[in-house]
Amino acid sequence: MPEEFPPSLDETLVRRLVEAALDEDAARHDVTTAALVPPDQRGQGVITAKARGVVAGLPVAAAVFHALDSTVAFEGQVAEEARVSPGQHIARVEGMLRPILAGERVALNFVQRLSGIATATASLVDALGGLSTRLLDTRKTTPGLRALERYAVRVGGGHSHRFHLADGILIKDNHLAAARARGLSLTEVVRQARLGAPHTLRVEVEVTSLDEAQEALAAGADIVLMDNMDVEKMRRVVEMARGRALTEASGGITLENVRAVAETGVDFVSVGAITHSAPALDMSLELS
């Protein structure tokens, strides 16, 4: 499989992140490898899955080895989005051994992390099979790695919420608390948000009760975000919002309850855990 960068992955950003990770690991000053491996020794190795999951990040792993030595050959044995089983070969790397060994941990760290996110995402997407509800990620990402982690969400079949704070208006509980301290109602907050932002941005309001949902809809919110509501209340908000606004559910959503939440008719389900708590997909690189 070729390791070209997919259109949704910024090659310049990847190379910058790879360089930062290699510098952090002092990969160009690997004293163990320099002491034990002659500079002209060649070899090859295989990256193998040690758990079941969805693969993401092979182009990033390739970029790690190429940053250390452009002559190292990296060949994916499966495609991005492939579902793999324990013992399955994921990629093969061949060339001078020094850069392969020096880049091993950084390459694995990237692929394991991104594959873990893709795997967690795919599990939830599978649970939503046949329904129109979309699974969204959140801004609960590793600082500096948001673009890669959200790429992994898309590999797993999920979709992205706003990328950063400039992408959309999301009025949350603390915004409302600050506004209420000044005597403003939710209706006034929504009106103020519309006046102070470009007309192209949607206004989303976080609500925790039916009364807040009704007020947000009356104020003209484009999206109502139901935070930690029970399924029955979600269903009632969806009915209230039909034809008036989109609906999103968040908070306390797990693999066990995500389908029940989606069956309320909600448009989106957002889950922070797919980026902030997804376990890495275990892999190893072994020389052969």
Express each pLDDT in 93-117 by its tens digit: 999 999 999 999 999 999 999 999 9
Tens digit of pLDDT for each residue in 3-53? 678 888 999 999 999 999 999 999 999 999 999 999 999 999 999 999 999
E-strand stretches of 70-158: 73-76, 83-84, 89-96, 134-136
- Are 180 and 78 in a shared domain? no
How far apart are the C-alpha atoms of 209 and 230, rounded to whole Å? 10
Contact 80, 45 (CB under 8 A): no
φ/ψ of 31, rounded to 5, equals -70, -30
The answer for residues whose C-beta is within 8 angstroms of residue 149's C-beta and 6 or more apart is 113, 114, 117, 137, 141, 142, 275
Q: What is the mean pLDDT of residues 216-227?
A: 96
Residue written as token pair 């006046």: 195
User: If you average pLDDT over every residue of the chain, what do you get?
Assistant: 96
- Are 146 and 256 in a shared domain? yes
Cα three-residue angle 25-2-88, rounded to 5 degrees: 75
Buried b (16+ CB within 10 A) or exposed e, 243-274: eebbbbbbeebeeeebbebbebbbbbbbbbeb
Check whether 219 has a pLDDT greater than 50.
yes
Indicate which CATH number applies to the domain containing 80.
3.90.1170.20
> How are beta strands 53-54 and 83-84 bridged, if at all?
antiparallel
Q: What is the mean pLDDT of residues 213-221?
A: 95
- Are 63 and 132 in a shared domain? no
- Are 218 and 282 in a shared domain? no
Judged on CB neighbours under 10 Å (0-12, 13-18, 19+), 116 is buried
Domain encompassing residue 234: 127-276
Tens digit of pLDDT for each residue in 126-173? 999 999 999 999 999 999 999 999 999 999 999 999 999 999 999 999
How far apart are the C-alpha atoms of 252 and 229, rounded to whole Å? 9
Number of compact structural domains in the chain: 2
| Res. 192 pLDDT band, cuts 50 70 90 | very high
| Res. 2 pLDDT band, cuts 50 70 90 | very low
Closest C-alpha among 164, 224, 221 to residue 190: 221
Structure tokens at 46: 């295989």
Q: What is the mean pLDDT of residues 201-229?
A: 95
Closest C-alpha among 268, 271, 231, 230 to residue 124: 271
- Are 36 and 144 in a shared domain? no
| Res. 1 pLDDT band, cuts 50 70 90 | very low
Indicate which CATH number applies to the domain containing 250.
3.20.20.70
Catalytic positions, written as ranges: 105, 140, 172, 206, 227
- Are 104 and 220 in a shared domain? no
Q: What is the mean pLDDT of residues 65-75?
A: 97
Contact 160, 154 (CB under 8 A): yes
- State the CB neighbour count (10 A cutoff) for residue 109: 18
What does the DSSP 8-state code read for residue 92? E
Structure confidence at residue 3 (pLDDT): 61
- Residue 258 in any domain: the answer is yes
The answer for residues whose C-beta is within 8 angstroms of residue 146's C-beta and 6 or more apart is 139, 163, 164
- Are 79 and 57 in a shared domain? yes
Q: Name the pTM for this structure.
A: 0.95
Q: 45-49, 60-64, 176-180, 260-264: which has the minimum mean pLDDT?
A: 176-180
- Are 74 and 29 in a shared domain? yes
